[in-house]
Structure 1
């Protein structure tokens, strides 16, 4: 039975309100945890300096108390879903570097053996079916171990585009004051050889086109005799740093209504489909293309872009500001878990005639064309300065870890630390993303992996005097500490985002609150060291994807995106080219570490 869109939206909203609020930790608890979290990475002198700054921050009437009181007041304000409501826009929309490669993430889908156009049409049909289910309130809430999860991110899967701005970007999306309710758009944007086309895939009455018609419409795109010169491929502009792109975008629409209409078509499109005219030579090349392939054949600001190569391999590039991996995984599983013709039938699709692609063009002056060229060249160079590597374990997965009596995530995170120590000669700050969608508007929490127990485990593994029992006990202690900390993070008991938001409040409201300068805590060795990533890790477990990936987060960081399934373990690593040797050493040591730990834990 169909549900009215208004009723469906009301049901989804009521569901969201029924979830518990994200707990706001006390200032004392976050400061205590912060000291414990950063301590293993500091010298005694650095610890003492950090402790002194924490004491000053906690002083009655001090800066920490003032900022925390402001956050408590905000959290209690009507209409505020979470004390993180302002944090997320500043964290994601406030970043001023490029989002292509630096922030967007990708999934490489499992192969199906279909040709390019059939694969692309199937993804479109699946997405249209998912949208119809969302609009009608038919997507069941995701549950983790029986606990309902926030579903609000689903509102940003369709017709959502990040728009560059100063000092913050904005998001153009449905379910907003400007566009209440689900998207009413009927079109997608298809890229081929740097040319953009508008393709209406839903008829005037809201019914999707049939699968064959969508495929024929995509074929018409590839056969079109419209070709966009390299310097006219405005998609390149979405690779620029945000303020620079904002200024360029403003110049595009100034006194040019045709450009404003083209931008409107792109930004309101349900999603993008990027058809490539080549097949990557191997899996790693396919991953690299999904992360930072460009050729003017992307609009990196679009929330969802499907990329389909000439051989039918496919994946997705996702803009991160409103979407996390867990939401996109659910979407992906729905798309790939059902045959395309079944999606098409269930969506109510019917023959309506082949949709005719309409080219989307921009009128560019000489200065704007020069900007397109420079953006393309700069991003190509940036991609070339990024080293990546895939690592695959066909004989190890979560089932093997569980058989050894250990949490699979604790096992692999311990292996990362051991590999890092051996590759670089020391441990370093390690970030792990922990999902907190069991809370209203919940997203993720930042976990720091290096505990005293992890430090002791790594030391024991490379201590010639430590016997098997000693090493095994050290590993068990590290794994238990890892699981305990992950549970703390899941329960909203983590210090980093809380303290970070207090810093952001000072930046936004310092004058008003009488806190005119950055508190010294944020220049302390502990804060700077804890947040200076050497490893940035995140997991995306799904049978429907082969690899997951993102760029590294600093000049010496290795990005570690992993797909840990019962019978396999695949990783995509990325790091700046200047430190590529360390990444390759990490990969080799990781192979050894996984084998070593399996042997250690096997009776």
Structure 2
């Protein structure tokens, strides 16, 4: 049955445009915990001036934009922000999502594991192309499905000032990267169905064999893919030079850009969750193509994850992709009658992608390799696998698991640094047509009272009151933001219009409040899925942390990144805070006297 995927699409409401006064009030509340009384009064005066003068005019302009766009008032602003980023996508922009289990195959080879993965992925692509994929629904509320149409045969193209996102007609091929070499591999037949598993396995084995026997020329030039890890302006210049040097390079770039996705084969097996996270988030930066919306990284032991270019693919879309792969992998290994055959191989379906590289590009590759080694070297990843409790314990006692973890982040930060920093939690707004992500500024006056008063509270009863009040406030923030009434994206759009007009309001200029708005020390995002083991991303500030988390039924996994700011110490403080909150909740559930 066709068009199942979009059966709710035309019924979805548009993303509402928040009220300007409400945005200004929310902004004041968000910055208040960081300001002295003098700073608070000065900021309030700036906000009132903005609301009554420049902000009112900018909001009216935003209303005009909202009334004329076929998407929503925020869509183009957010897309262009991501495409305008000039620093490397690696670690800084592209998040990663790691499968909770491992692929199993009848043969313990990388080719056999890859073939099973490609069969499951091909079925998902077919369901998207034929629009048979059931729509996303959360708590009986349908979600926008538009992102699935830009997941495959798409790519980000670097340009000097702002990149371009291009979607091609759906192709049949993927690009496989192994030992820094590129290969085209058809995974679908002419009808859009996955090729036989044995044929895919044999083709992958051919790729591995070819890549394992490099020529002197191939081994001396490094990886073309490493240039996608560079500063975007540098990569734009290099790509133009590469394309202009030889028509072969143009054809090769076209094959990569139009590929359904990229599969990166890794010969090693990660020793632990942190190593697996690093492999999927960045690897060594070479055997990758960071401009693709979907980049699947497969390790030798069957563990895998997805690295996503963030322009038009959000977390929940990537998670659905992995969920569907999990479903496909759950089928009997013998479902495909061709499994185990050694005769199926069609040389027309696989070929190496070649490059002709001028000296300037060989030099660029060396520069990119040096830079990516530095970038990876100055970032660290640590994982907290918290096993004392998970969703069931927290939700069973009347609290939101997400809220308790967010408050533990703040408590952990305060215990580690003896102060609170600006913190950010991503929130999904896909219940609206073309909805993307939004953001909560999670530090509130109530959470400030919690972290400063918890350890010095006179009684358990006082601790409970602090926790309960902060939790209820955070729940309200989530409701407001997920309903399109958060201030962060609204203020961002107003600020962008202010900058475009050439008359940026003093509210957005350098100063205490502007720094709070611009700097996020705790960047956080969480997901819930039985098929996801880890979610990871880099810090958004040089002195900050990226905290990705997955809340399971009976345990929690926090994947923390930072630029070597002793990440383990922060995780230890977060763990202690979870212990304290969990104990408090347990005592309250038992009805004990505080």
Give the TM-score range, shorter chain.
over 0.9
- The structural deviation recorded for 1:404 is 2.8
Is residue 2:294 matched to residue 1:304? yes
Structure 1 residues 428 and 346: alpha-carbon distance in aligned structure 2, compared to 1, 3 A threshold: farther
Is residue 2:133 matched to residue 1:132? no
What does the per-residue CA deviation read over 1:352-398, in whole Å, with 9 as the maximum and x for residues that have no partner? 94243311122111111011011011111110100210100123111
Is residue 2:528 matched to residue 1:541? yes
Please tell me whether the aligned partners of residues 245 and 358 of structure 2 are also in contact (alpha carbons under 8 angstroms). no
Alignment of 1:201-216 (within 5 A): 201-216=187-202
Question: Partner residue of 2:55?
Answer: 64
What does the per-residue CA deviation read over 1:165-202, in whole Å, with 9 as the maximum and x for residues that have no partner? 1321111114xxxx4xxx1x111101110011011122
Structure 1 residues 343 and 448: alpha-carbon distance in aligned structure 2, compared to 1, 3 A threshold: farther
Query: Among 152, 158, 161, which residue is 1:158 paired with?
Result: 152
Query: Among 480, 495, 499, which residue is 2:487 paired with?
Result: 495
Alignment of 1:166-245 (within 5 A): 166-174=160-168, 179=169, 183=170, 185-224=171-210, 225-227=213-215, 228-229=218-219, 231-245=221-235
Is residue 2:44 matched to residue 1:51? yes
Show structure 1 runs of 5+ residues with no match: 511-515
Structure 1 residues 152 and 255: alpha-carbon distance in aligned structure 2, compared to 1, 3 A threshold: same
Structure 1 residues 203 and 340: alpha-carbon distance in aligned structure 2, compared to 1, 3 A threshold: farther
Q: Secondary structure at the match of 1:285?
A: helix
Is residue 2:554 matched to residue 1:567? yes
Distance 2:250 2:101 in 1: 38
What does the per-residue CA deviation read over 1:42-74, in whole Å, with 9 as the maximum and x for residues that have no partner? 111221221121122122xx3212211111001
Distance 2:198 2:555 in 1: 35
Is residue 2:442 matched to residue 1:455? no
Distance 1:534 1:131 in 2: 37
Distance 2:336 2:44 in 1: 60
What does the per-residue CA deviation read over 1:510-541, in whole Å, with 9 as the maximum and x for residues that have no partner? 1xxxxx32111112522321441121100021
Distance 1:340 1:363 in 2: 42
Question: Partner residue of 1:261?
Answer: 251
State the TM-score, normalizing by the size of structure 1: 0.91
Tell me how many residue pairs correspond in the alignment: 575
- The structural deviation recorded for 1:332 is 0.7
Q: Secondary structure at the match of 1:566?
A: coil
Q: Secondary structure at the match of 1:337?
A: helix
Please tell me whether the aligned partners of residues 197 and 336 of structure 2 are also in contact (alpha carbons under 8 angstroms). no
Distance 2:582 2:396 in 1: 10
- The structural deviation recorded for 1:203 is 2.6
- The structural deviation recorded for 1:113 is 5.7
Please tell me whether the aligned partners of residues 207 and 348 of structure 1 are also in contact (alpha carbons under 8 angstroms). no
What does the per-residue CA deviation read over 1:453-488, in whole Å, with 9 as the maximum and x for residues that have no partner? 11111122121x521101111100011111011101
Is residue 2:238 matched to residue 1:252? no
Question: Partner residue of 1:599?
Answer: 583
What does the per-residue CA deviation read over 1:335-357, in whole Å, with 9 as the maximum and x for residues that have no partner? 112337669979999x9942433
Query: Among 361, 367, 375, which residue is 2:368 paired with?
Result: 375
Question: Partner residue of 2:320?
Answer: 330
Structure 1 residues 261 and 344: alpha-carbon distance in aligned structure 2, compared to 1, 3 A threshold: farther
Show structure 2 runs of 5+ residues with no match: 588-594
What does the per-residue CA deviation read over 1:194-245, in whole Å, with 9 as the maximum and x for residues that have no partner? 0110111223443321111111111111111345325341101000111111
Question: Partner residue of 1:551?
Answer: 538
Kindly report the root-mean-square deviation, in angstroms, between the aligned alpha carbons of the 2 structures: 2.2
Is residue 2:6 matched to residue 1:16? no
Distance 1:469 1:111 in 2: 42
Please tell me whether the aligned partners of residues 136 and 143 of structure 2 are also in contact (alpha carbons under 8 angstroms). yes
State the TM-score, normalizing by the size of structure 2: 0.93
Structure 1 residues 261 and 268: alpha-carbon distance in aligned structure 2, compared to 1, 3 A threshold: same
Please tell me whether the aligned partners of residues 47 and 525 of structure 1 are also in contact (alpha carbons under 8 angstroms). no
What does the per-residue CA deviation read over 1:140-171, in whole Å, with 9 as the maximum and x for residues that have no partner? 11111111101111112211111111321111
What does the per-residue CA deviation read over 1:60-106, in whole Å, with 9 as the maximum and x for residues that have no partner? xx3212211111001001x4210012112222111111101111111
Question: Partner residue of 1:472?
Answer: 464
Please tell me whether the aligned partners of residues 226 and 359 of structure 1 are also in contact (alpha carbons under 8 angstroms). no
Structure 1 residues 170 and 110: alpha-carbon distance in aligned structure 2, compared to 1, 3 A threshold: same
- The structural deviation recorded for 1:445 is 1.1
Is residue 2:437 matched to residue 1:444? yes
